Each structure stands twice: as structure tokens, then as C-alpha cells.
């Protein structure tokens, strides 16, 4: 895009110099202008092809795969994390995260269904897309904001447990986690309300095809720059920019503390092994959210108003957000023994006796600080329960 701007400005400069000479025929200047228009049309056509290809690959191939895996996995994760053996503050955050991710994936699944209908009946697909787009735009923004701040909540709890262990017993409780999750959901639902009123559907007549069809256009609120520009900056900052910087800082501090333990020759405790799993979750979120944060910062317009090039890139960045929402369940299964044991206990009750997280040897469970409840061989030792194992 930058190279095209340079070439275009050079062409305009040459044309201006030629037009200042008296003997240059006007027909030559008209021909140059026509060539410039053809060049612009060709680039725009290339951008449109890129957008349509990106929409096809993401909407009709990637989204259905991610949605099936993610929605199924998140439902299973909610069942497992809701089990009495998994009642911890960390798991409260992860359960809320599964709910938010499920909303995001259901929204993406609806997008896939509309695109699938458009292949056989473009007009019906356009009607469906126009009808649901204002609501889908709201759900997308709300769920991404909720996911971002729930991820920050998980990182903050890990930061407290690892870097300020003496305060963990008081601050990292199930009751406090539920309050924080509720506040995040309520605040982001309210914050995203203007997104639901940014677009509306209007009916237009296509003269070329002689049909009447709906299209999505900005509302009066959506075209009010005095409101939308600062609002977009606030929302984009809360959904992408601020979470990226906060998570990078806290992850760096947590990793540094874990590195110190390894340097001292200490073995990782169960708490720190769970912390490593959550670091992977946070790192994956950072990888998936950063492109969207950059796009939202430099291209503050809504999706509808943007050109084909930006729309095509946003198809890719949005699919990365779907990746982040889809694979947490697989991470839990691959990295948490307690999660796998509870999963087998729920879904494979006839498999045999599976050790419960509460009755596992102490090396397999995590407590916030010394003095918490520690169960070894089934006996309660001491303290007040505030476990944070998975």
C-alpha cells in the first residue's frame, strides 16, 4: 500500500509538469487520467479478491472447525470445572472464561451458517447478514472485552500467588473470584452497548438486478464522530491495548520468579506447575489478541465502513480470536492431571477408581501458602481451605 502511494504521487507530479507545457495535447492528459483510474480500479479489484478469499477460507473452513471443537470443549470444561473437586478461585475464572469464549464461538458459528447459505442463495444470505449484523457486532465486542479482562484476572491471581504469596490466602478466594467475574461481565456488557446501536438495516433498490435488498449502514450515533472516535479508542484500549501491556508485565514478573526457583535448584511445586499452564493460556491469548489490537488502534472505523484490504486482514485477525476461544479445553486436558482425573471421574465412572484431586499425594496438589488445608492419604491436616489447584 505504501509503495503504491509513492508511485501514484510520482505519476501525479509528472502529469502536473507536463500539463504546464502549452504544446501537450489535452487528449494525452485525459489518457493519463484514464490510466490512473484503471490502475486504482485494478488495485481495488485485487483487494476485493483478497477479501473474498480470506472470507471464504476463514468463514467456511476455519470457523466451523474451531466452533465445533471450541463449543464442545468449553461445555465439557464447564462441567468439569463445576465439579465439587474443582471448587477453587482459579477455576471460577476459567469457568467464566469458558462462558465468554462460548458466546464468541456461537457468534462465529452463525457467521459460518450465513456464508454457507450465501453460496446457494446470495440474496437470502445478504438478508440474513444484514438482519443479524448489528447484534453480532455487539456480541463480538462484548465477548472479546470480557475474555480480555478475565484473562487479566487469571494473570493477576497467578501474580499474587507467585510474587506475593503471603497475601494470597486473603486475596485469592472463591467468593472474591465470583465477584470479580460478575463485575467484568456487567461492566463490559454495559460498555459495549453503543456497539449495538452503531449500525442499522436499510432497504435499497438494486437497479441493475431490479431487486430490493437490505444493507447495513451506520446509524446517526455511528456517524457522530464527536462520540464514536473517543468511544472507539476507549473500547479498543480496554479490549486489546491495555490487556496486552498488563499481561506482558505480569507474565514477565511471574516467569522471573519461577526462573529464580529453578536457579536455586528447587523443584516446581504443584502451584507453580499450574502457573506454567496458565502462562501458556495467557501467552496464547497475547499471540491471538495482538494483531486485533493493532488493527483496532490504527483502523478505528467499524468493519462495514472499511475497504476490502482492511476487511480481508480483519477476517484473519478475527479468526485468531476464534483460535484463542477454542483451545483452552485441550490445554487443560494436556497440562492438568487433576482436570483429567475429574474428567474421567465424571464421564467414565465405570473405568475404575480414579484418584480424586482431594485424595492425591501432596506432590500432585497445590495450596496457596503453608497452613492451608493439605490432605495426604485422605486426612485433613490443618488450616482453612483456599486451594487453587486445577
What is the pLDDT tens value at each position of the chain, 390 positions in all?
Answer: 343 333 333 333 333 333 333 433 444 445 545 555 556 667 877 888 888 898 889 999 999 999 999 999 999 999 999 998 888 898 999 999 999 999 999 999 999 999 999 888 888 888 888 889 889 989 999 999 999 999 999 999 988 988 888 888 888 899 999 999 999 999 999 999 998 898 888 887 777 767 777 888 888 988 898 998 889 888 888 888 899 899 999 988 888 888 876 666 555 555 566 777 888 888 888 889 888 888 777 665 556 667 888 888 888 888 999 999 998 888 888 878 888 889 998 988 776 544 544 444 433 334 333 333 333 333 444 444 444 445
| Cα end-to-end distance, the chain, whole Å | 48
User: Rounded to the nearest 10 degrees, what angle do helices 122-163 and 89-120 cross at?
Assistant: 160
**DSSP codes joined into one string, 122-173:** HHHHHHHHHHHHHHHHHHHHHHHHHHHHHHHHHHHHHHHHHH-HHHHHHH--
DSSP, residue by residue, 31-69: HHHHHHHHHHHHHHHHHHHHHHHHHHHIIIIIHHHHHHH
Query: What is the distance between the alpha carbons of residues 95 and 174, in angstroms, rounded to a whole number?
Result: 12
Burial class (CB in 10 A: 0-12, 13-18, 19+), 369: middle
What is the number of alpha carbons within 13 Å of residue 92 lying toward its C-beta?
Answer: 20
pTM of the model: 0.76
Three-class SS state of 206: strand
The predicted structure's pLDDT at residue 21? 36
Report d(CA 65, CA 73) in Å as an integer. 12
- How many distinct helices (H) and strands (E) make up the chain? 14, 4
Among the listed residues 262, 244, 240, the one whose alpha carbon sits nearest the alpha carbon of residue 252: 244
Angle at 79 between CA 280 and CA 382, to 5 degrees: 75
Amino acid at each position: 500500500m505504501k509503495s503504491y502511494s509513492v508511485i501514484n504521487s510520482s505519476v501525479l507530479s509528472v502529469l502536473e509538469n507536463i500539463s504546464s507545457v502549452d504544446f501537450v495535447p489535452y487528449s494525452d492528459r485525459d489518457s493519463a487520467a484514464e490510466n490512473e483510474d484503471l490502475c486504482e480500479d485494478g488495485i481495488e479489484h485485487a483487494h476485493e479478491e483478497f477479501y473474498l478469499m480470506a472470507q471464504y477460507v476463514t468463514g467456511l473452513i476455519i470457523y466451523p472447525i474451531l466452533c465445533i471443537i471450541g463449543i464442545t470443549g468449553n461445555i465439557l470444561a464447564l462441567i468439569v470445572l463445576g465439579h465439587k473437586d474443582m471448587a477453587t478461585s482459579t477455576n471460577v475464572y476459567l469457568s467464566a472464561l469458558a462462558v465468554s469464549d462460548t458466546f464468541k464461538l456461537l457468534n462465529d458459528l452463525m457467521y459460518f451458517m450465513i456464508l454457507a447459505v450465501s453460496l446457494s442463495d446470495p440474496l437470502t444470505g445478504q438478508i440474513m447478514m444484514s438482519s443479524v449484523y448489528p447484534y453480532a457486532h455487539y456480541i463480538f465486542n462484548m465477548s472479546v472485552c470480557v475474555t480480555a479482562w478475565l484473562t487479566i484476572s487469571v494473570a493477576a491471581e497467578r501474580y499474587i500467588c507467585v510474587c506475593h504469596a503471603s497475601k494470597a490466602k486473603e486475596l485469592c478466594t472463591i467468593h472474591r473470584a465470583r465477584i470479580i467475574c460478575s463485575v467484568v461481565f456487567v461492566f463490559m456488557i454495559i460498555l459495549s452497548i453503543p456497539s449495538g446501536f452503531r449500525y442499522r438495516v436499510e432497504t435499497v433498490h438494486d437497479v441493475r438486478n431490479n431487486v430490493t435488498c437490505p444493507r447495513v449502514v451506520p446509524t446517526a450515533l455511528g456517524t457522530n464522530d464527536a462520540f464514536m472516535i473517543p468511544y472507539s479508542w476507549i473500547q479498543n484500549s480496554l479490549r486489546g491495548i491495555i490487556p496486552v501491556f498488563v499481561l506482558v508485565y505480569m507474565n514477565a514478573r511471574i516467569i522471573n520468579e519461577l526462573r529464580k526457583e529453578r536457579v536455586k535448584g528447587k523443584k516446581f511445586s504443584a502451584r507453580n506447575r499450574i502457573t506454567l499452564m496458565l502462562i501458556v493460556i495467557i501467552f496464547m491469548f497475547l499471540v491471538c489478541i495482538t494483531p486485533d489490537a493493532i488493527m483496532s488502534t490504527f483502523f478505528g472505523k467499524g468493519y462495514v465502513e472499511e475497504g476490502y484490504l482492511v476487511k480481508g486482514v480483519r477476517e484473519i485477525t478475527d479468526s485468531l480470536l476464534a483460535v484463542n476461544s477454542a483451545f483452552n479445553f485441550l490445554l487443560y486436558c494436556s497440562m492438568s492431571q487433576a482436570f483429567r482425573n475429574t474428567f474421567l471421574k465424571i464421564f467414565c465412572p465405570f473405568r475404575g477408581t480414579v484418584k480424586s484431586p482431594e485424595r492425591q499425594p501432596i506432590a500432585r496438589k497445590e495450596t496457596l501458602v503453608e497452613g492451608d488445608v493439605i490432605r495426604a492419604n485422605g486426612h485433613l491436616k490443618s488450616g482453612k481451605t483456599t486451594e487453587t489447584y486445577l
